[in-house]
Amino acid sequence: MDIDDTIKRIRNRDISRRDLNKALASVGLATVAMPLTSRRGLAEEQAIYYTWSGYDIPELWPSYLEMHGEPPETPIFGDAEESFVKVRAGYVVDVMHPCSNNVPRWRHAGVLQAIDVSRLSNWGDVVPALKTVKDGVFGDEHWFIPFEWGQTSVTYRTDLFDLAGEEESWGMLWDERYAGRLSIIDAAEDSWWCAAIYAGIDTDNLTDADIQKVFDLLVQQQKLLLFRQSDMTTVEQALASGELAAAMTWNSSPLTLTREGVPVKFANVKEGALTWVCGMVLTADAPHYDKAHDLLNAMIAPEVGKFIIEDYGYGHSNSKAFQLVSDDELFARGLTSDPMEILGAGTFLQAQTEDIEQKINRDWGELIAMI
């Protein structure tokens, strides 16, 4: 049946119902059958990278995209402990993104497996001190690929927060004058440790009395807080609007705010900042073992490091990345080309015994019930 011929017949009402139905049925059948004949093969499965929001962008894995044509899957978590609990409960992923202090406990829980660094062509360029970061290496096995590193300190509005001649200090977040205009990060990993630094306790040998002392400080601080932020956008907006006078942040926030012309400063606290290195771990039952390694390698490439430094303001683990960024740009971010200058200067976030970690996490849970 020719199409023009059919149209003509319909127009002239010179078509039987049976013929019209036949024509319609053939069109319907063709429509239904079309995807069957021309469908491409199902998209190949990609590595699953369970991460923080903001780490799910293509800039972080250019070489992976090149190799596999598709980005990895990137489900997102609110904080690392949440991802751990979910993966233990049976959520299947390949790569997760904790900080180094979590690795021993996660490893002990049987969630992780060692990473074959011989498959990572960029591994040789990784800063040696980060390669061998204490919590990531067991024997001669690497269980952790360092990615970004930085500091946690106080970001404050230079026009709103009056230091009154005092030095910059963690005490700024306990300043009664700014009650209701302060905030901290809603994670024990940051906030508990910063309170510990402020308390002046020896974080290498924590005792029950020390933990109690930190808890009391946190209870005292609770009344002064406007909120505890679980995402950096909230705190950056609140600092920009002047709702907050000072807040605990990572070193990316002051960079973002300064770019927007907000008068803020990342305090060089006298007690020392909290320094940390975060990165990737491989899950014990990773379903895409090979692709996961491709992803890990893609993420520690120098050009990814350049992006992390320039856009996020964090340090990166690849030493060559620092050569791609000018010294001025590094300085503006509070970085130097030698990560150890910064990581060594503050208190480094490191794993504690499991008992102590449990106490800290449960204290943190207890704290939200403090009215």
Give the whole-angstrom CA distance, residue 227 versus residue 211.
23
115 forms beta bridges with: 142
**Residue of the chain from 241, 260, 261, 328 that contacts another protein (CB under 8 A):** 241
- Looking only at residues 101 through 130 of this chain, which bind another protein when binding is defined by CB under 8 A? 109
Output 22 or 223, the one with its CB closest to another protein: 223
Cβ of residue 213: shortest distance to another protein, in angstroms? 19
Residue 371 contacts another protein per CB under 8 A: yes
DSSP reduced 3-state for 266 = strand
The CB density around residue 29, as the number of other CB atoms within 10 Å, is: 10
**Residue of the chain from 242, 263, 287, 344 that contacts another protein (CB under 8 A):** 242
Region from 79-87, 113-121, 128-136, 141-149 binding another protein, contact rule CB under 8 A: 79-87
Output 60 or 239, the one with its CB closest to another protein: 239
Residue 228 contacts another protein per CB under 8 A: yes
Helices (H), 223-353: 232-241, 252-259, 289-299, 302-307, 327-332, 339-343
Q: Is the dihedral of CA 361, 182, 195, 366 positive or negative?
A: negative
Give the whole-angstrom CA distance, residue 348 versus residue 351.
10
**Residue of the chain from 91, 174, 227, 289 that contacts another protein (CB under 8 A):** 227
Q: Is the dihedral of CA 166, 169, 174, 177 positive or negative?
A: positive
- Say how many residues make up the chain: 371
Output 180 or 344, the one with its CB closest to another protein: 180
Give the whole-angstrom CA distance, residue 198 versus residue 169.
8
Cβ of residue 143: shortest distance to another protein, in angstroms? 18
Residues with Cβ < 8 Å from 124, sequence gap 6 or more?
Answer: none
Output 143 or 312, the one with its CB closest to another protein: 143
Residue 49 contacts another protein per CB under 8 A: no
Residue 362 contacts another protein per CB under 8 A: yes
Region from 3-11, 28-36, 197-205, 219-227 binding another protein, contact rule CB under 8 A: 219-227
Choose among 149, 100, 146: nearest CA to 123: 146
- Looking only at residues 142 through 201 of this chain, which bind another protein when binding is defined by CB under 8 A? 180, 187-188
Contact 334, 151 (CB under 8 A): yes
Output 86 or 213, the one with its CB closest to another protein: 86
**Residue of the chain from 8, 22, 88, 177 that contacts another protein (CB under 8 A):** 88
DSSP reduced 3-state for 161 = coil
Output 310 or 363, the one with its CB closest to another protein: 363
Q: How many residues bind another protein (CB under 8 A)?
A: 32
Choose among 99, 263, 256, 252: nearest CA to 187: 99
Residue 354 contacts another protein per CB under 8 A: yes
Output 23 or 284, the one with its CB closest to another protein: 284
Residue 358 contacts another protein per CB under 8 A: yes
Output 82 or 216, the one with its CB closest to another protein: 82
Q: Exposed/middle/buried for 32, CB within 10 Å: 0-12, 13-18, 19+? A: exposed
Helices 3-11 and 17-38 meet at what angle, rounded to 10?
140
Output 141 or 354, the one with its CB closest to another protein: 354
Output 177 or 270, the one with its CB closest to another protein: 177
Residue 203 contacts another protein per CB under 8 A: no
Name the CA radius of gyration of the chain, rounded: 27
Residue 222 contacts another protein per CB under 8 A: yes
- Residues contributing to the site for another protein (CB under 8 A): 79, 81-82, 85, 88, 109, 180, 187-188, 222-223, 225-228, 230, 238, 241-243, 354-355, 358, 361-362, 364-366, 368-371
